[in-house]
């Protein structure tokens, strides 16, 4: 049990504690004595005092049951795509699962058999491409959705090609055509640093990647941008024509409706 508690940031479920030999009455005594804290029904922190963010995140995903995965803003937080954690913990669950409402817990039902999880990382979380696409779908507007795509690419954790594959694999997508067009711009970028004087290179986490008028012009790595480790995105305020290259291989995917 000690190794399980260590791996789960000090958190354990009632089922795990029973498997380790603790009875329900022993668990109850630990909670009543203040040595343990109940975070969710059947989920406990094996310590007293303040509960750190890592423990709260683990408690949320354990409470949501087998097959659950941290997702949306919480997965983006764990991947480092966002700098500041969102107050609620976001968890995606299989579509048939029902989870009660609790403060600071947002549950998303996956349209598929279960959320596509990263096979290695702990705590369980959706794959980075699925995380970014989820965020585009929960965004308040199209500009914010495109901003999430740019953050995903500039994080160096994925590529525009992988994001495009995750996007086009979904049967229903809001803003499918403009999002695929934005990814096309990312794939067909030019070499870093090439561009008219005065253009500003935006860094990951730059608020302008999400807010304000977006004129998406990519500074990528030439013809190999699709397989590159990273792309830098130049963000332009105001007017001007969007630079785009013809003969994109995903035009057929872009024709599918939302």
* Cβ–Cβ under 8 Å, residues 159 and 239: no
* Cβ–Cβ under 8 Å, residues 61 and 70: yes
- Choose one of 63, 83, 98: the last residue of a domain: 63
CA quadruple 123, 128, 130, 132: dihedral, nearest 10: 120
- Choose one of 126, 150, 165: the last residue of a domain: 126
The structural domain count of the chain equals 3
Whether the link from the prior residue into 43 is cis, omega within 30° of 0, is no
> Taking CA 203 as the corner, what is the angle to CA 202 and CA 208, rounded to the nearest 5 degrees?
55
Helix, strand or coil, per DSSP, at residue 144: helix
Element (H, E) at 235: strand 232-236
* Structural domain of 2: 1-63
Which pLDDT tens digit goes with each residue over 109-150?
Answer: 887 766 888 989 999 999 999 999 999 999 999 999 999 999
Only one residue has tokens 């668990």, namely: 27
One domain for residues 145 and 254: yes
One domain for residues 59 and 71: no
**pTM of the predicted model as reported, rounded to 2 decimal places:** 0.72
236 falls within a domain: yes
Helix, strand or coil, per DSSP, at residue 18: helix
One domain for residues 162 and 241: yes
One domain for residues 29 and 88: no
Which pLDDT tens digit goes with each residue over 49-82?
Answer: 999 999 999 999 999 999 999 999 999 999 999 9
132 falls within a domain: no
């Amino acid at each position: 049990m000690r190794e399980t508690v260590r791996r789960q940031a000090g958190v354990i479920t009632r089922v795990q504690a029973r498997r380790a030999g603790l009875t329900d009455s022993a668990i109850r005594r630990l909670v009543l004595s203040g040595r343990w804290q109940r975070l969710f029904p059947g989920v406990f922190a094996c310590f007293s005092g303040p509960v750190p963010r890592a423990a709260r995140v683990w408690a949320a995903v354990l409470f949501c049951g087998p097959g659950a995965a941290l997702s949306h803003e919480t997965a983006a937080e764990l991947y480092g795509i966002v700098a500041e954690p969102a107050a609620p913990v976001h968890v995606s669950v299989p579509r048939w699962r029902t989870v009660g409402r609790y403060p600071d817990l947002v549950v998303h039902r996956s349209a598929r058999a279960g959320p596509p999880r990263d096979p290695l990382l702990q705590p369980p979380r959706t794959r980075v491409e699925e995380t970014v696409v989820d965020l585009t779908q929960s965004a308040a507007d199209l500009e914010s959705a495109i901003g999430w795509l740019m953050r995903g690419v500039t994080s160096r954790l994925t590529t525009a090609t992988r994001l495009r594959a995750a996007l086009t694999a979904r049967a229903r997508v809001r803003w499918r055509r403009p999002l695929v067009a934005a990814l096309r711009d990312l794939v067909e970028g030019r070499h870093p640093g090439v561009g008219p004087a005065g253009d500003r290179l935006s860094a990951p986490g730059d608020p302008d990647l999400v807010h304000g008028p977006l004129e998406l012009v990519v500074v990528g790595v030439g013809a190999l941008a699709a397989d590159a480790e990273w792309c830098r995105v130049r963000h332009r305020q105001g007017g001007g024509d969007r630079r785009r290259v013809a003969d994109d291989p995903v035009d057929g995917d872009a024709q599918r409706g939302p």
